[in-house]
Amino acid sequence: MTLRSAESLESAESSRERWGHRGTAAPVAEESREAAQLAAAMEELRRAGYQMDARDKQLLRSLRVELCTEVLVDGLVIQYLYQEGILTDSHVQEIKAQTTSQRKTMMLLDILPTRGPKAFEVFLDSLQEFPWVKDKLRMKRKEMMVQDPADLTVIAPHILKTSPTDQQLNKLAMRLGPEWEHVVLCLGLSHTDIYRCKVDHPYNLQSQIVAAFVLWRQRLGKKATIQSLQAGLIAGEVDPSVILCMLS
């Protein structure tokens, strides 16, 4: 190698180091990170437009414990939902991987709200072996439909300006399902924040949700009001009655 070639190589290497580049690893890593962020954003947009009706989600939450006692997954429910395209192969495997029938049903109830606006009706159709469950769901749904939404969202102004307490956040967490991730994203948390909450509380969904809301409250301080929380719940398409239950 000539002296001039060596000087040129050294100059190029010096330039790369000055601008923070060492070979192609940094640009590739940056592109991968940007691609991952874009994919996550697209997934959130897809999920936002592919959600079950807020009242149907609330109905499944309100009857969650009762539905779990019926052990719905031991019949043809799962196969019918798979046949109709509501559940995917991975969903079925995830449900079957649960250790008890009750946990399998809970997993199904977690998945259903994320499977689109038709998922609830198809779920009702799948309950041929459980006519009493189907009838109760239809009756409760009818009762919820006749409620006036305006009556559900009236909260006193002085309450809206306060920050939610730990007890209130716990009550809220009990009423939320998988949509909690979209809600906290609307409140300003990141996917990394959600991941950390899951890692810190790997076996308890309610603790994950509470941890996320506590983190939101810590970060926003005085701006973390019930009013801003209500806005986040609305953006996440959570039924308005949920926040009233939190305040009761």
Q: Write out the two tokens for 43.
A: 């997934």
DSSP H helices, 146-204, are 149-152, 157-160, 166-175, 180-186, 191-200
Q: How far is CA 94 from the centre of its chain?
A: 17
In order along its 248 residues, the chain shows pLDDT tens digits of: 554 544 454 554 554 444 444 444 555 565 666 665 555 544 444 444 456 777 788 888 888 888 888 877 877 899 999 999 999 999 999 999 988 888 899 899 889 988 888 899 999 999 988 999 999 998 888 877 655 444 445 677 888 889 999 999 999 998 888 889 989 998 889 999 999 999 999 888 899 999 999 999 999 998 899 988 988 888 777 877 788 888 87
Q: CA triplet 35, 116, 129: central angle to 5 degrees?
A: 135
- Estimate to the nearest angstrom the gap between the alpha carbon of 78 and the chain centroid: 22
Long-range contacts from 215-220, C-beta under 8 angstroms, 24+ separation:
215/189, 216/184, 216/187, 216/188, 216/189, 217/163, 217/164, 217/169, 219/188, 220/188
Considering only CA atoms, which of 150, 156, 149 is closest in space to residue 225? 156
pTM for the model stands at 0.47
Tell me the three state secondary structure of residue 8. Answer: helix
* CA atoms within a 13 Å half-sphere pointing along the CA-CB vector of 175: 22
